[in-house]
Amino acid sequence: MPLKILAFTDIHASRTALEKIAQKIEKHKPDLLVCCGDISIFENGLEHTLRKINDLGVRCLLIHGNHEDETLTGALCGKLKHLIFLHKKTVEIDGTLFVGHGGGGFAYEDEDFDTWAKTLEPTMKKSGRVVLVTHQPLHHTKTDEIYGGEHVGSKSYRRFVMKMTKSLKLVLSGHIHECFGAVDNVNGVCVSNPGPQGKMYVIH
């Protein structure tokens, strides 16, 4: 059964972005929301914005960005009915396995992720229908190219995606504002930055 996802990222406590997301919910009736981090401006407005996302009334899988603390974001999500903190977790919804890794954004290599990712491989292979949610994008894609042409994404994430191509359906990320709305294809896997106003995806 297809799963309709409305994903968004880097809203930075913007009321306008939340209004656009609410409009898309009304129009498209998604089964699920996914947030790729940077909910706040260095945690200013974090709790308020999380409550506003919760008030949208649709279950939301969420990771922190480089503007948020992992522990604080997880604790706040735990108090809100519709929010699920996805960092370093897997959640299966209607036959789709979601894998989340938040924070970071400025390093090509992430040993912590590399170690954790190895533990995911059996579960991902068994599922065969996986969505990876990160804050920093994959290296050398349309989602990580800044002005001037430099690619600033994660090489750790890219290696993982290349290794797990057969299981992955979609990779969602944010962080690079120049790449809002960008979509790319990495070895047959859709890689996308949904931007702050949200973008619809359907997983078959």
pLDDT at 1: 83
H or E segment at 130? Answer: strand 130-134
Topology adopted by domain 3-203? Purple Acid Phosphatase; chain A, domain 2 (3.60.21)
Other beta carbons less than 10 A from residue 172's beta carbon: 29
Q: What is the DSSP string of 28-54?
A: H--SEEEE-S--SBTTBTHHHHHHHHH
Residues in the chain with pLDDT values less than 70:
none
Q: Rounded to two decimals, what is the model's pTM?
A: 0.98
Domain ranges of the chain: 3-203
**pLDDT tens track for 86-114:** 999 999 999 999 999 999 999 999 999 99
pLDDT at 77: 99
Q: Token pair for residue 5?
A: 């996802």
Alpha helices in the chain (DSSP H): 15-28, 46-55, 70-77, 111-127, 155-163
DSSP secondary structure code for residue 62 in this structure: E
In contact, 38 and 9? CB cutoff 8 Å: yes
